[in-house]
Amino acid sequence: MRVRSYAKINWSLRITGKRADGYHDLETIFQLISLHDTMTFERAERMTLTCDDPSIPLDQSNLVLRAARALGNPPAKIELRKTIPAGGGLGGGSSNAATTLRVLDEMFSLGTSADRMREIALSLGSDVPFFLLGGTAYARGRGEILTAMPPLSGVPLLLVLPEERVSTVAAFGLIAKYSPPVGIPRQTLFARPELLVNDFEEPIFAKLPRLRDHKNALLEAGALWAGMSGSGSTIAGAFETAAERDAAAARIRGVRTVAAETIAAV
Same-domain check for residues 123 and 22: yes
**Within-domain flag for 135:** yes
Last residue within a domain, chosen from 127, 148, 169: 148
Mark whether 141 and 163 lie in a shared domain. no
- Give per-residue pLDDT as tens, 82-116: 999 988 999 999 999 999 999 999 999 999 999 99
Which residue numbers are catalytic? 8, 127
Number of domains in the chain: 2
Alpha carbons 21 and 222: distance in angstroms, whole number:
42
User: What's the pLDDT band for 79 if we cut at 50, 70, 90?
Assistant: very high
User: Per-residue confidence at 192, pLDDT binned at 50, 70, 90?
Assistant: confident
The whole-angstrom separation of Cα 71 and Cα 238 is 37
pLDDT at 203 over 90: yes
- DSSP codes joined into one string, 191-250: GSGGG--BTTHHHHHHH-HHHHHHHHHHHHTT-SEEEE-TTSS-EEEE-SSHHHHHHHHH
In a domain, 185, yes or no: yes
pLDDT exceeds 80 at position 266: no
- The pLDDT, as a whole number, for residue 186 is 75
By residue range, what is the domain housing residue 167?
A: 156-261
Domain boundary among 94, 129, 148: 148
Residue 177 located in a structural domain:
yes
pLDDT at 100: 98
In a domain? residue 186 = yes
Query: Based on the domain organization, do 11 and 125 belong to the same domain?
Result: yes
Same structural domain for residues 137 and 179? no
The verdict on 32 and 56 lying in the same domain is yes
Does 169 reside within a domain? yes
Please indicate, yes or no, whether residues 95 and 200 belong to a single structural domain of this protein: no
Please give the Cα distance from 168 to 89 (Å, whole number).
8
Residue 141 vs residue 195, higher pLDDT:
141
Mean pLDDT over 7-30 rounds to 94
| 133 and 62 in a common domain | yes
Residue 129 and residue 197 in one domain = no
Residue ending a domain, among 99, 126, 148, is 148
- Does 178 share its domain with 122? no
CA dist., res. 234 & res. 105, Å (int)? 32
| Ranges of H-type helices in the chain | 63-70, 92-107, 114-124, 128-133, 168-173, 201-207, 209-220, 242-251
Note the pLDDT of residue 188. Answer: 79
Q: How confident is the model at residue 265 (pLDDT cuts 50, 70, 90)?
A: confident
- For residue 206, give the CATH number of its domain: 3.30.70.890
Mark whether 9 and 121 lie in a shared domain.
yes
Same domain for 124 and 186, yes or no, is no
Mean pLDDT of 35-43: 98
Same domain, 118 and 78: yes
Among residues 213, 60, 79, which one has the least CA distance to residue 124? 60
Angle between helices 63-70 and 92-107 (to 10 degrees): 30
CB 224 within 8 A of CB 240: yes
Give mean pLDDT, residues 47-69. Answer: 95
> Is the per-residue pLDDT at 263 higher than 80?
yes
Lowest mean pLDDT among 42-46, 75-79, 174-178: 174-178
pLDDT band at 195 (very low <50, low <70, confident <90, very high): confident
CATH code, domain carrying 125: 3.30.230.10
Whether residue 221 is contained in a domain is answered as yes
Question: Would 120 be classed as within a structural domain?
Answer: yes
Q: Is 260 helix (H, G, I), strand (E, B) or coil?
A: strand
What is the pLDDT averaged over residues 203-230? 96
Beta bridge partners of 78: 41, 49
Has residue 266 been placed in a domain? no
